[in-house]
Amino acid sequence: MKYLFVRVVALLVLASTPSTLAFAQDFKPVLLYDIGGKFDKSFNEAAFRGAEKFATESGIDFRDFEPNSETQYEQALKRFARRKADLIVAVGVGYSVAVRNVAEQYPNVKFTVIDAIIDLPNVQSITFKENEGSFLVGMAAAMATKSGKVGFIGGMDIPLIRRFQVGYVQGAQFVRDDLDFIENYVGTTPSAWNDPIKASEMAKSQYARGVDVIFSAAGPSGLGVINAAKDSGALAIGVDSNQNHVQPGFVLTSMLKRVDLAVSQAMQQANAGTWKSGHQVLGLPEGGVDYAMDEHNATLITAEMRERLEDARAKIIAGEITVDDVDGGNSGH
């Protein structure tokens, strides 16, 4: 009887184990980057870190793809959808049309798109209140400038990047109303996100005109602004990821856009069966945006500056400070 009992238990375990393991092992998440490369120290790298966090915590690998041009977006989406991916996360507004087309063709595949809004039952759209984080770094720029001239360099002139600029200017003016602002945009096509040489030239021109702090919202192109800050003995403000380390002592702070949080949460939810379609917006209250403090900028942001920034952050979260937005600004980089 004892032998029979052991055999029955063993058979029950074997019968149940495969389905349990299949649930964990068969989940197939995919991450598709925007143009600029996985390790761009900015937007794409934040997305990669989010997927890595999910993989580390769950033990489930993810597949990813780095496109060289927008023409590859729809091809990649279709390829992974045909391979029965359970969730495809596409980062960047460039995927808007491609995700809409492919999601309609593959209604059983889940899609999460970062920085765009697509109203389909199998698409989750995640955008950010970049203006709220930009308000804080605008304050930092206003408190740090000695010349009274601050700059902004955007990638493409689209509503999302205008949202960065609007928040930045409002935050700076919240501190002082006598500032001069100079702005430039790198280009009008997606290549604007990956042209650090042109961004550097624009930054050097602004520094030569007396600007001493520049905030760049230009993806990998912004690395050119940071390098120009060092060459000019001035300050830059990083974006998306914490870029304080790129040129320590010349990066005042970075406006953090938590693409990593959006990606990791989407994968966790899809794996757990709690993923939902619809539109989510991540701002300061949700931890979706912030400003970066670490050992690299600790001497640039004084205790008094930090106190003012933290006070403003609390007031934005509490609704006591309303940060301006851009009309039609729900699409993005």
Tokens of 267: 């994968």
Q: What is the pLDDT of residues 211-235, one digit of tens each?
A: 999 999 999 999 999 999 999 999 9
Longest dimension (CA), the chain: 91
Q: What is the pLDDT of residues 275-323, one digit of tens each?
A: 999 999 999 999 999 999 999 999 999 999 999 999 999 999 999 999 9
Domains of the chain: 2-129+260-282 (3.40.50.2300), 130-257+290-318 (3.40.50.2300)
Tokens of 195: 């042209």
Q: What is the mean pLDDT of residues 170-182?
A: 98
Are 93 and 101 a contacting pair, CB within 8 Å? no
Give the Cα separation of 210 and 110 in Å (integer).
50
**What is the model's pTM?**
0.86
Describe the strand order of the beta sheet including 235-240 as a list of residue ranges. 180-187, 149-156, 213-217, 235-240, 251-257, 289-291
Give the Cα separation of 284 and 214 in Å (integer).
22
